[in-house]
Structures are given as structure tokens and as C-alpha cells.
Structure 1
Amino acid sequence: MRAFSAQSLRWVSPCRPSWSRVSALAPIKARPFRGVASPALSRPHIRPFSASTPARSTFDSESTIYALSTASGRAAIAVVRVSGPACVQIYNALCPNTRLPRPRMAAVRTLYDPTRDPSANSVLDAGALVLYFPGPKTVTGEDVLELQVHGGPAIVRSVLTALARLNQPAHSVRYAEPGEFTRRAFINNRLDLTQIEALGDTLAADTEQQRRLAVRGASDALSKRYEEWRQQLLFARGEMEALIDFSEDQHFDESPDELTFSVSSQVKKLQAQIRFHIQNASKGELLRSGIKVALLGAPNAGKSSLLNQVVGKEAAIVSTEEGTTRDIVDVGVDLSGWYCKLGDMAGIRSELGGPAGQGPFIIGAVEQEGIRRAKARALDSDVVIVVLSLEKRPDDPSLYQLSVEPEVASAVHDCTQAGKCVVVAVNKCDLLPQEDRSGQVARQLTAAVGIHFPDVPERRIFFISCSEAQKGISMDHSDPGQLQTFLRGLVTTFEEITSPLGGDDGEAGTYDASYWEDSLGVTHRQSANLERCLRHLDDFLDEAQPQRSSVDPTHGMEVDIVTAAEHLRFAADALAKITGKGESGDVEDVLGVIFEKFCVGK
């Protein structure tokens, strides 16, 4: 093997905390109800929250928890879920003198008040469906008892009251905290933090795209990817630290320069993947939180009419009087599975007069504030719909022209410079004869739009008529006012701005489309930790690849191996915080933020 070559290495003592390997929760022996025999309960391996000594939490696994898992109110069926070591004893108390159902097999049982002798007067529900799931292969990793009772409010209230009466000092039975069932699943290694966040998205999904994003995130694809990256960094760190521990008495197949270069190459490939995941996280956030759409245009161009036609109701006041809309009107709408927030805003104009030759006029303070807010809302949006109106020429009514307010053109230019996606909708096309709407006049109007807005591609220019859409007038009676054509083009624009990046970049490796589609599920918390990891990897490369001008050719590169290895450890720690895995994954500070978003019965 190759001998270790001489190299200028600065040896320093690493400043590392002494992590205590204490499990956050120790296995707890079940405490049976008095006078009731219980089977031996096996406890799975419990995930530690942190490498440090844990603080006492209200989420203790000694107690058995219960909650109503279905929505409150009157319904056909209500599901009460119980999880913890006393599930068998609770069943025996509610269903005395009946055999425990076979695991994962439903059985019809009569539920009795546990504080009274079984009789017709102590029946809580005469036809409950009971299921028993023994741990650890359950949703929480513990024994789970599920009571499917009739959904009348009185029956549900009586069952919950009966469960509360089973609480005793020797065995705690209490109502669950919000998200505690999911938290116990995390503690018992049934779910990791990325899957839990996806579960929260599943519960909050309203549109088809939100559902697809949540279902993708519910798999363990991202979790395995983060863990694979973390293992790569740990292995790279081990190679670097081998130079520290065995540099004097061992021989290596690679010289320190070659080893450092090899690790740096791996880190660069990992950086490329992380960057794409961070960029795709912002695209996924558009699907999760909604796409902000701004309606920008001059007064009386038809912005409010277009908003009302899209949302299907009178969301904004429509009037022939200019300046009717003064403040922003935001409306959330589901467009073919895409959740977007449409914002109708004040018309933008200047005091110098419009394009039709109107004389100067004075804009009041209220309208000026509305214009300022409109421009700010457009710059804060993801998609800007520029609504232009088609007008007859004053000198020749047989000819038509686009009404483009200079202030509108300036605002659109600012949006394109800010990287916003711009769509143009030319309204009032009902003024054109039917034969001119798809012929030479339409091509001339498209060219005119291109002159005013050169950054807008032709595929994002649409001709509509809100008046015909409202009246249901159409040449072929299938698309009044060409509104459906406009909406299909808008959805295509949504698909373009939310398509994941990374498929064609060789630096990040060759992966199929599904690999990058999974990265759309990266949440804000995950993205923040990925950015932290990326900064530590940059610090590693700065340390492992010093400037050539500072390198002494007689001694090789001067690399602080200890500091470089520490940067790799910090980067691995950032990945560990995403999933909650690894000894350095101190996730106690983020658990409350994640679980508080869940309802009580989840």
C-alpha cells in the first residue's frame, strides 16, 4: 500500500461536547387494573428525543390515552381510539364477561358503564364495533383499542365519560393531547418527522394537487434519502478523522491530498442535490399553501368581472365607473385541482391621461394608496394576470386598438424583472366580429401585445370576453367568452412554475422524474435544515480546498483536518434534525411545533 506522504496539517484539539447516551424514555412496565389479569406487554425500542438528558414531558407513555378520532357532532358512526398499556383492562371494564376480540378482527360488543354492574340500565351502546390491535405493529407502536360506536352526541359523551372514570392513581387513563397519538408513533419508531409532516398535509389537503403532494410525502422516500445523505457524510467524516487517529502508524491506499479530493468531490455532488431540493421546496410550497395570482390592469379593464367569472360568484363589485375597486379583494378558488388565491386590485393609471388621449386629471389620496397596494400585491404574487381591454379607435370606430396604460406597462416590467410569471388576458373581445377573432386581426393584436410586453410568450396571451361568458354566448356553445380556454392556459402555467428542477443536471446525478417529484414535498422546516447543511458543506470545502495562492508547493496543501471533519459533523447533524434520527439529531425543540398542528384524535 501507498505510504503516507508528508503534508502540512494543523492539529488542533476538537471542541466537542460530551454527549450522554441516555434514552429519553425507558421501557415502562404495564400496570394492570386491580383484580384484572393482563397479558405481558412487550415494549418496542423507543426513539430518544435527544442525546442529552431529557426533561419531563406531559406526553408520558406510562399513561393510556383516548380521544374521539372522528369529527364531533351528530353522525352515523363515531370512532373512539385508545392507546397505551391498559387497553386490555379497559376492554374488560367496558365489556365484562366477554372474550377479547381476535387481533385486528372486528367484533360486535355491548358497552357497559364500568362503575355499575352489567344490566340493561348500565348499557352505554348496545351495538358497538370493537377492534383490538396488539403492539408493537400498530399505528402508535402500543396496544390500540378502537371503539366504533353510534354517532349520537349522547352516546359518544357517555363512552368518553366512562373512559375518564377508569383513571386511577395506579394506572393513568387520560384524554389525549393534540397530536399525541402521532407523537407516540414517532417515539416508537412507527413514523419519522418527515412522514408526520406529510400526515399533517394529508389532513389539511383541500385540492387534488395538495392531496397528491401529501400522499407522496407520506412515503418514506424522503426519509431514506436524508438518512442516506447523512450516512455519506458520516463515512466521509470517518475517512477524514482516520488521518488524525492513524496518520503516524498506518499506511493508506490514498494520499491525504487524494483522500481530501475524493471526499470533496462527493460533497460537491451532494451539494448539487441539496440545492435542487431547496429550490423544489419553494415550488412545493405553492402547491401546499396556494398560488398567489394578481389581476393587474387599468381601471374598467374588466378585472373584477374576470374574478367573478373565475370564482363563479359576485366576489367583487362590477361597475362601469372607473375606480370602483379601491382595495384588494382576495378570493381562494380551486382551479382544476390547483388552489390559488386570486387578488382583484385597484386599477392602475397616471394623472397624465390614458392611452385614448384623455386629458390630465387628479388622482385622490385613497386611489393613490390603492394603486400602491396593487403594485405591491403584484410583486408579492406568483402569477400576474395583466387584464387589457380592447377599444374602438376614436378616429375610426371600425378599427380596434389595445388600451395599455403606461403605468400598467411599467408595473408589468417591474414584475418580469422580479421573476414573476406574467399572463395577458385581452378582455372585451366581443367587440370583434366573429370572423376576426381567429384571423388576421387576432394575429395583429397578439403582435401588439408582444410589442408592449416582449417578455410574455405567445402561449400566455389569451383573448376573452367576460360579457359573453356571463351571458353564456359562444360560437359553438361550448366555451362562452373563451373563458375555459383561458383557464386551461392558466392551469398549464401553474404546471410550468411547479415542475420540479433537477432532471437534466448531470452534476446532481441521473435520476428519474419521480425522484425530483418527491422533493416537492420538502417542507419549510426541512428546507431550513437543508440550507444549514449546505452552509456547513460550503465551510468544509473552504477548509478542504484552500486558495492555491496560499499553498506552498514544497509542502502541499495546508488543510486543517479536524476543522474540516467538524464541518461534516455539523452538516450531518442538520440532516439528522430533519428526520429525528441519529445521536446528534436533537429534535426536542421542533416536536411541539409539528405536533400542535394535529387535532386531538390524531
Structure 2
Amino acid sequence: MLDTDSTIYALSTAPGRAAIAVVRVSGPACPSVRLHPTIRSIFPLRPVPTNAPLHQIYQALCPTTSIPKPRFAALRTLYDPSHPPSPNTVLDAGALVLYFPGPKTVTGEDVLEFHIHGGPAIVKAVLSAISRTHQPDAAVRYAEPGEFTRRAFMNDRLGLPQIEALGDTLSADTEQQRRLAVRGASAALLNRYEAWRQTLLYARGELEALIDFAEDQHFDESTEELVASVSAQVRALAVQIGFHIQNASRGELRRSGIRVALLGAPNAGKSSLLNRVVGTEAAIVSTEQGTTRDIVDVGVDLGGWYCKLGDMAGIRAEAGGSAAVIGAVEKEGIRRARARALESDVVVVVVSLEDSDTAGGVRLLVEPEVLAAVDDCVEAGKCLVVAVNKCDKLPTEEWRDELPPALAETVRDVFPAVPAERVFAISCNDAQRGSLPLTGKRAQNPSDPGHLQAFLHGLISTFEQIASPLGVGDEGGQYDKSYWEDSLGVTHRQSSNLQICLDHLEDFLSQTSPAAPLDAPASHSHERDPASIAVEIDIVTAAEHLRFAADMLAKITGKGESGDVEDVLGVVFEK
């Protein structure tokens, strides 16, 4: 554990050359600073109240001026505190200084910020000057990594869910990542978890009252009614937590990116499609089969969604008939391609139109091995999209915005698991000849050569469908869409603890379900006293499951302990 008595400082902006650099100081400063004797004689320090801990550091660097008004920026000249102020001891002649008195600051402590010029030499000089205000009884030291955030948590300025969202805020590259981070940075999830913990605390308190006072106190409700009421509360909470766990995986698609696999036979146009989407020659394009042996992964921002496009080896028969012999390297590439498709979130099946034996006719070419790989993806529950490439082979009058009816019917027969809105007709050749930028928004490119803009628009719509929050509508009860959108910000750590919490709630419900001895015939219920019913249901164990569940919620927020006897007794007497 790091000490909290020392004053910490650090460069808050990125290191390197920049126009402005921000140096932040937080915490109680030393009662006196190491100033040069000449400075003390010329500029004696005014008495500083003990509740203004950073005044001394400010006076060390700005001995000729008073500290700025709280939360107002002031232009100051910074001097070296080890020498008398003079033109030769100036560190920065044009710094902006801001003073934020606690507790309503980023760390909950007094905070001082120096907005200085971002030259490396100036930054180094200011940091060195702050370090020289050290006193043995009250240290001023450079902050450890993450220490400002840690103090914000210790001083109740940020909760653990907000801190996790802060990391997402700093690493967000796309619009969807930014939106997710902004939602997580609010206190919505923190307050929700704390409300759930309080619900479990009250529920446990009611059971504790039933255990401890059932024999000598008269309850307005029967034991059956009381247990049924608690179970109904827990069951409703379990439904909400279940949706949050499911939405965590959907939020992870926005946070970490959507993995897209391009699956198809050799020469179907997978590499050409990848190159057209990313705008660079990321993959080798050749008429020779088997040119793509390994997986080519490229990250790209599509309409604000970060996706990882994977071009893979073409899947074809290993031997037989007129098929060329496949080497060991290509066999491994095919194996990896099928494995990558099963690991992806979206699988784009690329098939092509080829010349048929009929004069001027075309046929849809789909290898049996590709169909087998698609069937594996369907069984695994993968989201499938079909891109019919080389549609430039169709007569112009037959290819406009979609496939001809007969060809569309063929595609539906071959890929019955793929809905019609996820089948797209494209031509990478036309797109390459068009040489127009791909933005994922068809409205910006009305001509849309190759119909790749329509394909990207449909792909983005697919992303929205698979990453939309669950619980919206009738399943979500009385909560609106915004409530469930917040649950997309649930992190892996939170989701893991929520799953353990849900397991304990299900154990509780299994013990208090109607199948328990509690559900005895009504004609005999008057012969059983509350204490005997409590023993039959094993309410003690059931209450422990609620305590364990609440502990998991406390672990997520880092606040409170559900097992405090005082809290439980407070609930008992309050109820």
C-alpha cells in the first residue's frame, strides 16, 4: 500500500515535445519548503493555514505572487526555488496555474496544476523544481503509476467501475469505443451495483429476522409469505443480472473489436475484398490458387466500429479428380481458416459467379468444402453474411442493386441459414476500376461502383444487431433502452463477479423454490410453527447465499461489506 500522507506530482500529459504540458500536484504538502535564504529575506512567506496544503509548493515556484483564486486560471512566472528569483532562475515565463481545493477535485485532495510550455527541457526543469521542495517529515515525490486514480478511489471520488471505464476512455480509437467509455465513466453502473447490494442486504435482513425472532415475535406476514416475497425480489434481481452478463459480451464487441472472417474457396475474391475495404494492398491477389496460406489480419474502422478483418486460405478439396495436389503448408492454412471462422464473431462467406457452359451464362460456384465449413459455423451459432462476388459477369440490365431473382433464389437454397438482408451482390473488379474511397456510408457515394458501399452498410447493420443490448422491450420490464445500454459497459472483471453472484442467487432460489418442504398442503400449514418451517427450508444456508452474492457486488464496486453484523441488525430493526 502506498502512503497517502505524501504530496505526489506527475506529468499528466503525454511525454514528448508539445505546445502545452500539464503537471499535476495532489495531496498535503510539507509544512515548510526548502527555499533559498535570500528568497526568504526578500519575499517572506505569508502565514499559510493548515487547511491549504499546496500553498507552500506554489510559493516555492511563484514566490512573487499569491495563489490564484480557486478554479480560476492565472498567468504566472515559475522560478527555481533553490535560487533567488531573477531572469536567470526563470523556469517558465508564461505558465498557467490553477488551484483546486478539496474535496471536490479529481483526487479528493487539494490539487495544483501547472500548464507549462511543452518543451522537454522546461518540463524536466519544473518537475525537478517540485521535487526539491521535499522535507523529511512530509515527502513530496513523483507519483507511482495510477496513484492519482487510486487516491480518487480512496477518497470516494471514483468507483471501480468508473476507473475501469477511464482506461477505456484513454484507449478509445473508434466512435463506438468512445460512446461505450463515456457511458461507463458515469456513476450509473456503480449506483446500480450498490442498489443491488442494498436489495440483498434487506432481503438477508428479513431472513435473519425470521431466524432470530420468529419464536417470540408476531409477524404480519406468515413465514411462507415472507419467504415468497424475498424470493420474488431475488428472482427479479437475478433476471437483471443475467441480462447484464449477456450484454457484457456484446459490449466487448464494441470495446475490443468485432472479428470478421472472410471464408470461401480459392479465387472467390476474399483478398480483393479485403484490399478494397481497407484501401491498401494488404493481401496478395493472384489467379493462382493457394496464394493465401496464413491468416492476414487487418484492423479497420468501419462506420465507428472497430473490426478485425481476417483473410484466410481458400478452402478446397485436398485431392481427387482434376483438383491440384495440396501441399502440407496449404493444408495447415485451410485448417487454420476453418478454426478462425469458428472463433470469429461474423463470418463473411465469399462466393463467386463463374462462366457457365452456356454461352454468355454464369453460374454460382460454391465448393462442397466451403458448405461444410459454413455448416460448422451455423452449428456454432455464428453470424453469417454472404457476399456474391464477380457480379460484373452479369449483364448490365440484370445487375442493379441486388441479385437477379433466379440467382437470389439459388443463394437462399444454398445458404438457408442466412437471411435475405445479409446477402450482397458485389464486384471487386468494378470497385477497383472505380477508385473511389470506401467510407461505409453509401450516401456519400451514390454511384457505388461494385456495390461495396452497400455491402459495408449492411455489414455495419449486422454489427449493430449483434452488439445491441438485450433486455430492451417486454423482457426488460419497466426499464427503458438507456438502462440496458449502460450494461454494455460491463467489463470482464465485473461480468465474472456478476456470474458468481448469479450462481449464489440461483442456489438461494433452488432452496426456497415451491419444490421445497415449504410447499406442504395448506390443510396442514396451521400445524407447523414458523421455527420448524425455517429449519425445513434451511433459511440459514439460504441467507448465506445472499451474503455471498452481496459480497460479489461489493467486490465489483470496492465499497461495503454485506456481512457486517451492524448493517444486518440495522436492517432488522428498521424493518
Q: TM-score, normalised by structure 2?
A: 0.88
Counterpart in the other structure of 2:380: 418
Q: CA deviation at 1:440?
A: 9.7
Counterpart in the other structure of 2:480: 512
1:151 aligns with 2:118: yes
Q: Is the 8 A contact 1:77 1:149 kept in 2?
A: yes
Code of the residue aligned with 1:484 in structure 2: it is Q
Q: CA deviation at 1:72?
A: 1.1
Counterpart in the other structure of 1:384: 347
- After superposition, the Cα gap between the structure-2 partners of 1:152 and 1:559, relative to the gap in structure 1 and judged at 3 Å, is same
Q: CA deviation at 1:361?
A: 3.6
1:406 aligns with 2:368: yes
Structure 1 Cα separation of the partners of residues 490 and 520 of structure 2: 44
Counterpart in the other structure of 1:349: 316
Counterpart in the other structure of 1:214: 181
Structure 1 Cα separation of the partners of residues 503 and 467 of structure 2: 26
For structure 1, which runs of at least 5 residues remain unmatched after alignment? 1-56, 587-602
1:521 aligns with 2:464: no
Counterpart in the other structure of 2:7: 64
Counterpart in the other structure of 1:564: 542
Q: Is the 8 A contact 2:312 2:337 kept in 1?
A: yes
Counterpart in the other structure of 2:18: 75
Structure 1 Cα separation of the partners of residues 323 and 14 of structure 2: 60
1:472-551 to 2 correspondences below 5 Å: 472=434, 478-506=447-475, 508-545=476-513, 547-548=515-516
Code of the residue aligned with 1:530 in structure 2: it is L
Structure 2 Cα separation of the partners of residues 155 and 576 of structure 1: 45
For structure 2, which runs of at least 5 residues remain unmatched after alignment? 30-53, 437-444, 565-575
Code of the residue aligned with 1:143 in structure 2: it is D
- Size of the alignment, in residue pairs? 522
1:465-507 deviations in whole A, cap 9, x for unaligned?
A: 1111111079x9721110101000000000000111111344x
SS in 2 for 1:295: strand
SS in 1 for 2:404: helix
Identify which of 544, 569, 581 aligns with 2:559. Answer: 581
1:262-273 to 2 correspondences below 5 Å: 262-273=229-240
SS in 2 for 1:250: coil
Code of the residue aligned with 2:286 in structure 1: it is S
Q: CA deviation at 1:563?
A: 1.0
Structure 2 Cα separation of the partners of residues 583 and 421 of structure 1: 42
User: Which stretch shifts more, 553-562 or 146-155?
Assistant: 553-562
Q: Is the 8 A contact 1:576 1:585 kept in 2?
A: no
Q: Is the 8 A contact 2:61 2:81 kept in 1?
A: yes
1:549-579 deviations in whole A, cap 9, x for unaligned?
A: 7966545852111111111111111111111
Counterpart in the other structure of 2:129: 162
Identify which of 272, 276, 289 aligns with 1:309. Answer: 276
Code of the residue aligned with 1:295 in structure 2: it is L
Code of the residue aligned with 2:329 in structure 1: it is V
Calculate the aligned-residue CA RMSD, in Å.
Answer: 1.8
- After superposition, the Cα gap between the structure-2 partners of 1:269 and 1:399, relative to the gap in structure 1 and judged at 3 Å, is same
Structure 2 Cα separation of the partners of residues 131 and 447 of structure 1: 69
SS in 1 for 2:418: coil
Identify which of 55, 59, 65 aligns with 1:92. Answer: 59
Identity over aligned residues, as a percent? 71
User: Which stretch shifts more, 287-296 or 236-245?
Assistant: 236-245
Q: Is the 8 A contact 1:574 1:585 kept in 2?
A: no
Structure 2 Cα separation of the partners of residues 567 and 546 of structure 1: 18
Q: Is the 8 A contact 1:577 1:585 kept in 2?
A: no
Identify which of 180, 202, 214 aligns with 1:235. Answer: 202
1:368 aligns with 2:301: no
**Structure with greater helix share of residues:** 2
Identify which of 297, 304, 319 aligns with 1:337. Answer: 304
Code of the residue aligned with 1:381 in structure 2: it is S
Counterpart in the other structure of 1:428: 390
Q: Is the 8 A contact 1:111 1:124 kept in 2?
A: yes
- After superposition, the Cα gap between the structure-2 partners of 1:396 and 1:221, relative to the gap in structure 1 and judged at 3 Å, is same
Structure 2 Cα separation of the partners of residues 473 and 85 of structure 1: 62
- After superposition, the Cα gap between the structure-2 partners of 1:338 and 1:404, relative to the gap in structure 1 and judged at 3 Å, is same
SS in 2 for 1:502: coil
Q: CA deviation at 1:360?
A: 3.9
Code of the residue aligned with 1:523 in structure 2: it is T
Structure 2 Cα separation of the partners of residues 203 and 451 of structure 1: 47
SS in 2 for 1:186: helix
Structure 2 Cα separation of the partners of residues 542 and 563 of structure 1: 11
1:322 aligns with 2:289: yes
User: Which stretch shifts more, 305-314 or 361-370?
Assistant: 361-370
Q: Is the 8 A contact 1:503 1:510 kept in 2?
A: no
Code of the residue aligned with 1:290 in structure 2: it is G
1:368-427 deviations in whole A, cap 9, x for unaligned?
A: 10000000000000000001011011x213111111010101101110111110000011
Structure 2 Cα separation of the partners of residues 428 and 519 of structure 1: 42
Q: CA deviation at 1:88?
A: 1.5
1:117 aligns with 2:94: no
Q: Is the 8 A contact 1:291 1:339 kept in 2?
A: yes
Higher relative contact order (CA 8 A, sep 6+): 1
Counterpart in the other structure of 2:32: none
SS in 2 for 1:493: helix
Q: Is the 8 A contact 2:403 2:425 kept in 1?
A: no
Structure 1 Cα separation of the partners of residues 516 and 96 of structure 2: 74
User: Which stretch shifts more, 196-205 or 465-474?
Assistant: 465-474
Counterpart in the other structure of 1:359: 322
- After superposition, the Cα gap between the structure-2 partners of 1:164 and 1:548, relative to the gap in structure 1 and judged at 3 Å, is closer
1:10-56 deviations in whole A, cap 9, x for unaligned?
A: xxxxxxxxxxxxxxxxxxxxxxxxxxxxxxxxxxxxxxxxxxxxxxx
Q: Is the 8 A contact 1:281 1:524 kept in 2?
A: yes
Structure 2 Cα separation of the partners of residues 548 and 134 of structure 1: 58
Code of the residue aligned with 1:321 in structure 2: it is E
Q: CA deviation at 1:448?
A: 1.0
- After superposition, the Cα gap between the structure-2 partners of 1:315 and 1:440, relative to the gap in structure 1 and judged at 3 Å, is closer
Q: CA deviation at 1:350?
A: 0.9
Q: CA deviation at 1:97?
A: 2.9
Q: CA deviation at 1:432?
A: 1.2
Code of the residue aligned with 2:282 in structure 1: it is A
1:235-285 deviations in whole A, cap 9, x for unaligned?
A: 010000001121111100111111111111111111111100000000000
Code of the residue aligned with 1:493 in structure 2: it is T
Q: Is the 8 A contact 2:197 2:562 kept in 1?
A: no
Structure 2 Cα separation of the partners of residues 232 and 144 of structure 1: 37
Q: Is the 8 A contact 1:423 1:456 kept in 2?
A: yes
Q: CA deviation at 1:98?
A: 1.3
Q: CA deviation at 1:584?
A: 4.5
User: Which stretch shifts more, 165-174 or 301-310?
Assistant: 165-174
Structure 1 Cα separation of the partners of residues 144 and 367 of structure 2: 57
Counterpart in the other structure of 1:396: 358
Structure 2 Cα separation of the partners of residues 535 and 477 of structure 1: 53
